[in-house]
């Protein structure tokens, strides 16, 4: 992709300037070459239009691969260059470290193994029991997609923080998500089901979560 910057000519001489001068004689005789920022803005618009017609695949290593890092892939060379030149987060990004790479590769080995196939099949009914059990007790479970992450809506942040403390003291690990990750009135717990969780584990988690949320709402209000 060619550079979006339009170079300013080295020779400023024009019909209104004295012969051999190195600068225009007045502002009115400034060269008519478009300003660099104007050309950059036009190039940005062209890139945006090109990107809108392109296919992007975006992924993060923070979930399945249990490490930091991510990627953005596209078959369009122009769209790829557009992201490199005009994407703010891309400007100061850097390559992942060897340790991060090793962790991602090790996780990939687990994901593609027969054990992973077994565990994926086993975790679905666990997540279903957790979701259905919480719903039956009263807490609002968000979404309708069965997956290992089961989000439980709390609402305002103070109630969420109070519940988080009570839940931790009760011995349950529950991750509270609050502002700015979500809206100030939409804090939630992200429960994470595992293939190794037993029916007893799920029943205990449901009881602790429901009891602590109720107590937190009474305390916060």
Euclidean distance between CA atoms 153 and 36, whole angstroms: 50
Q: Residue ranges of the alpha helices (H) in the chain?
A: 36-52, 77-86, 88-91, 98-111, 114-137, 157-169, 199-220
What is the full per-residue pLDDT of the chain (221 aa) written as tens digits? 444 443 433 343 343 333 444 444 433 344 444 444 445 555 555 555 555 567 888 888 888 888 988 888 888 888 888 888 887 776 777 788 899 999 999 999 999 999 999 999 999 999 999 999 999 999 999 998 889 999 999 999 999 999 999 999 999 999 999 999 999 899 999 999 999 999 999 999 999 999 999 999 998 66
Instruction: Give CA–CA dist 159/187, Å, rounded.
Output: 9
Integer-rounded Cα radius of gyration of the chain: 28
The pTM (predicted TM-score) of the whole model is: 0.63
The per-residue pLDDT for 145 is: 87
Q: What is the pLDDT of residue 41?
A: 54
Q: Within 13 Å of residue 68, how many CA atoms lie on the same side as its CB?
A: 7
CA-based nearest residue to 116, from 194, 173, 62: 194
pLDDT reported for residue 49: 52
pLDDT of residue 46: 55
In order of their start, the domains of the chain are 33-100 (no CATH), 122-220 (3.90.1150.10)
């Amino acid at each position: 992709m060619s550079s979006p910057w339009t170079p300013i000519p080295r020779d400023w001489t024009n019909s209104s300037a004295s012969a051999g001068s190195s600068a225009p004689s007045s502002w009115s005789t400034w060269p008519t070459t478009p300003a660099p920022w104007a050309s950059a803005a036009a190039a940005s618009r062209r890139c945006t239009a090109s990107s809108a017609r392109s296919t992007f695949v975006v992924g993060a290593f923070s979930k399945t691969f249990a490490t930091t890092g991510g990627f953005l892939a596209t078959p369009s060379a122009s769209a790829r260059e557009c992201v490199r030149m005009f994407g703010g987060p891309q400007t100061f990004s850097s390559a992942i470290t060897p340790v991060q790479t090793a962790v991602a590769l090790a996780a990939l080995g687990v994901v593609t193994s027969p054990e992973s196939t077994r565990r994926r099949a086993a975790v679905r009914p666990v997540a279903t029991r957790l979701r259905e059990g919480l719903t039956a007790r009263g807490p609002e479970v968000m979404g309708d997609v069965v997956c290992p992450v089961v989000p439980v809506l709390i609402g305002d942040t103070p109630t969420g923080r109070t519940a988080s403390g009570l839940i931790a003291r009760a011995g349950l690990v529950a991750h509270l998500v609050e502002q700015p990750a979500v809206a100030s009135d939409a804090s939630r717990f992200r429960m994470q089901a595992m293939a190794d969780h037993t029916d007893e584990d799920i029943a205990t988690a449901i009881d602790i979560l429901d009891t602590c949320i109720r107590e937190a709402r009474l305390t916060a209000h």
